[in-house]
Amino acid sequence: MLAPMEGLTNRWMRRLIAETGAVDVVATEFIRITSASQKIAPVERPPSPTELQIQLMASEPEAVGGVIQHLKRRGILQEDDWIDLNVGCPSTKVNARGAGAALLTDPERLLTMLNSMRESHPNGRLSMKTRIGFNSSEDLPMLLNTLQRAPIDLITIHARSQKGRYDPDALEVDKLSYAVETLPYPVIGNGDIFTVEDAQRMLATGVAGIMCGRGAISNPFLFREIRENDNSARSELDRKNELLTFANRYAEALHQEEQELKGQTLIGSYKEFSYWFSRNPLIGAEYFSNVKRMGTLEEIQRFNRSVQNGETKICQ
Ligand SMILES: Cc1cc2nc3c(=O)[nH]c(=O)nc-3n(C[C@H](O)[C@H](O)[C@H](O)COP(=O)(O)O)c2cc1C
């Protein structure tokens, strides 16, 4: 599964990664729901067979069901959509409003929210994405105890606590086995999958599947590599070429959209992508250093082509 990532898994990125043909599910960036009348952009569905998980962020257990019903009446959500609740965001601002990982501090309140969502969404899948605890993984047994009663079809667990944020040393993949044994629905493992070996380590915990975030942005072909379990059929040059072709298709898609937006620029979305993309050892940090100074998506497309045809060299 492709992880929900604000600023990264927009509809163009979801479509391009789906087109690599090796990912089963792609997730939207979170949609913060507050009231029935709020403005929400239409959600673009990927072409079949890729499935879409629409992630919602909410903080009012009593109101959320009603908002979902309104969103359905307005045609933004459909009866058979797959809705996911964000219970993992560690942002202090978000948590101060009672949303994201803050919901972990009161599991009964979280359960009330999930029950309300289930009631207003009986015919589509419902899931949640969370962490192994708020303060630490010591919260996990108590959390799982409550979550056993959650009316959901699947759970994704990022193997860090809220306090662990994105600290590489805070990842506790082994804790996922405990969740797999305890919960009556499938557990998807998430956290620091950048290589085929990372994926194998995660799968060894017994999880039903894996979700990749930053790893899939730094290498959009990661899902294919995990499935094939072998990279030797492609030379480094072919892989680098494929990566740059992907990046240029993303720049082109954003540029096309810009033309319909009348003056609004989407270059920031490309720069955010290129920050993670340049972490790929075949691309290198100098790629981002170049891109971040550029002023238009056309300039970026020219740069990508010149790197690809060897006119511009970037050291790795
Ligand atoms: C830039 C960025 C934005 C993110 N936005 C979201 C989000 O909207 N919803 C969510 O549940 N998680 C979000 N996350 C967390 C990821 O989905 C994922 O759980 C986390 O990055 C760990 O997985 P990874 O190591 O594969 O990236 C975000 C992470 C990053 C780096």
Which of 266, 202, 187 lies closest to 13 in space, CA to CA?
Answer: 266
Range in 3-17, 32-46, 247-261, 284-298 the model is least confident about? 32-46
* pTM greater than the 0.85 cutoff: yes
What SS3 state is found at 205? coil
CA distance 210 to 91: 23
Q: pLDDT at residue 170 above 70?
A: yes
Task: Determine the atom of ligand 1 nearest the C-alpha atom of 158.
Answer: 19
Phi, then psi, of 49 in degrees rounded to 5: -95, 5
CA distance 7 to 4: 9
Kindly list the protein residues whose Cβ atom lies closer than 6 A to any atom of ligand 1. 3-8, 29-30, 55, 86, 88-89, 129, 158, 190-193, 212-215
Q: Please, are residues 157 and 130 in contact by the beta-carbon 8 Å criterion? A: yes
Q: pLDDT at residue 315 above 70?
A: no
Q: Please, are residues 248 and 305 in contact by the beta-carbon 8 Å criterion? A: yes
Ramachandran assignment for 313, one of left (phi > 0), alpha (psi -120 to 50 degrees), beta (any other): beta
